Structure 1
Amino acid sequence: GQRVMQAAAGNLKRLTLELGGNDASIVLPGTPVDAVVEDIFQAAFLNMGQTCAALKRLYVHESQYREFAEALAAIAERQVVGAGLEEGVTFGPIQNLDQLELVSELVDDARAQGAEVLCGGARLDRPGYFYPPTIVTGVSDGHRLVDEEQFGPVLPLIAYRDVEDALRRANASQMGLGGSVWGEDEARAQAIASQLESGVAWVNCHAQIQPNTPFGGCKMSGFGVEFGLEGLLEFTTPQLLFMRQRTS
């Protein structure tokens, strides 16, 4: 994106840059696990996690940390990984070898630093770039798997004690594409979501992108928006017509 921006400087071409993301989600204390865990899983592993606005970091209160981790791992273990034409397959491959190697590297790095891989965590022993859905616990900010965008079928869970601290940690990333807050108290969740440093903030959902609502990021995730009226206006240049009325 930076190279595109440099190339566009020669004739001052206007840009909309929708770049990478490392979307954080905060689950508020007391959130019923069964009510949200399936939606959280789908948001994280949409297109095998190969989506710019997929949920990529999950902050869970320490009182429910293990319960959420085990529930997510149970869903992950039910998935069938394989080629799209194989019957019953729910998870396909990673798009290319370089990305497969990056995902493997990030998981191996987390494991070497004491993280626990609850399921998955290794390339499948078959032709193709297949990596199973992977849930990782025992990681925190500072681990590569948390700080970098994995863009693959891996979800790290980070425990927190204080919601304000979780918010600070969620905002510490240089990226700011999307983010979300999950909880029964919608007013509280909305108040916290409004403090996320992201172009889009969702409440009790994630990666809900619609053609009638603007979508875009901030910080190193780019600028400008796509979709909605605002997205159409990105392609226009306003002109002011100023006319002084003659007096007789």
Structure 2
Amino acid sequence: MPQTVTDLLDRVSVEDGRPIHDPATGELVGHTAEHTVEDLDAAVAAVRAAQPAWAGLGYAGRREYLMRAADLVEENAEALARLLSREQGKPLNGPNARFEVGACVAWMRATASLELTPEVVVDEPDNHSELHYRPAGVVGAIGPWNWPMMITIWQVAPALTVGDTVVVKPSEYTPLSVQALVCVLNDALPADVCRVVPGGRDIGARMAEHPGIDKLMFTGSTATGKAIARSSADNLTRLTLELGGNDAGIVLPGTDVAAHAEDLFWGAFLNTGQTCAALKRLYVHESQYEEVVDALAGLAASMPMGNGLDEANVLGPLQNKQQFDIVARLVQDARSSGARIVTGGEPAAELGDLFYPVTIVADVLDGTAIVDEEQFGPALPVIRYSDVDEAIEAANGLDAALGASVWSDDPEAARATALRLEAGSVWINKHGGIHPMVPFGGIKGSGYGLEFGVEGLKSVCVPVVLTS
């Protein structure tokens, strides 16, 4: 029988835990446990003890468990989405809470359907060599607060599929959602295959240096990713780091703006802009600059923002005060630098303490903080250019290189421009679109390692060459 939000909170909220509040209303959601480093050590020991039997089931045996786990997430999707909306702030509708839980189900099923088989790399009379992939062992998964459930599944599903066991550390901002998700998964999985350890930064720091963790997956800031790389060095822990992005989009001259305006808007403001691979700086040719700015401003005015549990809303609050302050600072800096605030630009205090309206910033230049820093919120700088080479150079000029996009009705011009952009993923006439079979990862300051599909499975394995 599907669980309610109350049921889920009864399973994960603890009386003497740290309070978690709804960023839209300030109301209490529940109390999260705060585990210790000793609790983490015990969890690592438990999942390590469970790993050989889990690996021994083989792909077919593990797939049966994982498909059942996906079924349970789907059966409990509405309760999970409502808890997510209350804790993270994102609305139920639009590309938000229900979308996120649905993505969890789709990713689990797609990932569990995959299998790594030996690859013959040489087949000669005196040398037959095969590349095999074995489970890494214990995987540590450290997730963010913006897509807490979905990114947890991105980390957990491939690890469990290949025969690893997992310890999950949720963000301090959204621990209840992740704990509830893991509870639902564990209703289908064998004991100790997946454990969750909520807690503070000391838990994440210990995971980075833990000798019992064979592979660590982290999604979050570049600064934290660098700290994890340093801390893990003594153990030579294998890492997948999906770090900060400051994705550029380029609108080529002659583009049908009306046809692409809504995709441009959601490329930037998905999850109220709180997405690593969101469009965060938009370069538009001078011939269509005002047309693009006006189209985005018009869409901003038509998108309802408010409490996520209100079915009408598709934009929500910033999840936390720290992120709210970053957005407000960057917009104010742009205004002080002479930029034109087309729409938004001031906190929406009438909605609540953490609401900031969609803000289109025009007549802004490279070198301005809102262009050069990742805003991670509902503010988009639109930069004018006159020469495509100039736009490409600017797009490639920052260290962040998670994603990028090109917008054009000329397929050849779009492809030629896309191939010159430095980013882990480059989209044409879309931004941030991901697929469970398409590899995803950053380059430069946005990290390294691939997730999703077959490449994602390989990333949580160790390669072994067999030669005869």
TM-score norm. by structure 1 comes to 0.96
Tell me which residue corresponds to 2:467.
Answer: 242
- Unaligned 5+ runs, structure 1: 244-248
Distance 2:338 2:448 in 1: 37
Aligned partner letter, 2:361: V
Tell me which residue corresponds to 1:151.
Answer: 376
Distance 2:385 2:397 in 1: 15
- The CA deviation at 1:242 is 2.2
Distance 1:167 1:173 in 2: 11
Tell me which residue corresponds to 2:294.
Answer: 70
Tell me which residue corresponds to 2:234.
Answer: 10
The Cα RMSD (Å) is: 0.9
Secondary structure, aligned partner of 1:72: helix
Secondary structure, aligned partner of 1:135: strand
- The CA deviation at 1:10 is 1.4
Instruction: Return the match for 1:174 from 386, 399, 403.
Output: 399
Secondary structure, aligned partner of 1:240: strand
1:162-189 Cα offsets, whole Å, 9 max, x none, are 0011000000011100001010111110
Distance 1:87 1:203 in 2: 31
Tell me which residue corresponds to 1:194.
Answer: 419
Structure 2 matches for 1:1-248, cutoff 5 A? 1-126=225-350, 127-243=352-468
Aligned partner letter, 1:219: K
Secondary structure, aligned partner of 1:159: strand
Distance 1:2 1:206 in 2: 26
| Greater CA drift, 81-90 or 157-166 | 81-90
- The CA deviation at 1:81 is 1.6
Aligned partner letter, 2:371: V
Aligned partner letter, 1:169: A
| Greater CA drift, 13-22 or 124-133 | 124-133
Secondary structure, aligned partner of 2:234: helix
- The CA deviation at 1:231 is 1.0
Distance 1:108 1:125 in 2: 16
Distance 1:130 1:237 in 2: 45
1:7–1:62: structure 2 CA closer, same or farther, 3 Å change rule? Answer: same
Aligned partner letter, 1:236: C
Tell me which residue corresponds to 1:246.
Answer: none
Distance 1:189 1:3 in 2: 37
1:49-69 Cα offsets, whole Å, 9 max, x none, are 000000001000001101110
1:187-207 Cα offsets, whole Å, 9 max, x none, are 110111011100001111110
- The CA deviation at 1:128 is 3.0
Aligned partner letter, 2:226: Q
Aligned partner letter, 2:334: A
Query: Which of 1 and 2 has greater Rg?
Result: 2
More helix by share: 2
- The CA deviation at 1:6 is 1.1
Distance 1:27 1:33 in 2: 9
Aligned partner letter, 1:183: S
Distance 1:202 1:34 in 2: 19
Secondary structure, aligned partner of 2:462: coil
Aligned partner letter, 2:423: S
Aligned partner letter, 2:428: V
Distance 2:269 2:293 in 1: 15
- The CA deviation at 1:87 is 4.6
- The CA deviation at 1:86 is 2.7
Give % identity.
Answer: 53
Secondary structure, aligned partner of 1:239: strand
Distance 1:184 1:147 in 2: 28
Secondary structure, aligned partner of 2:270: helix
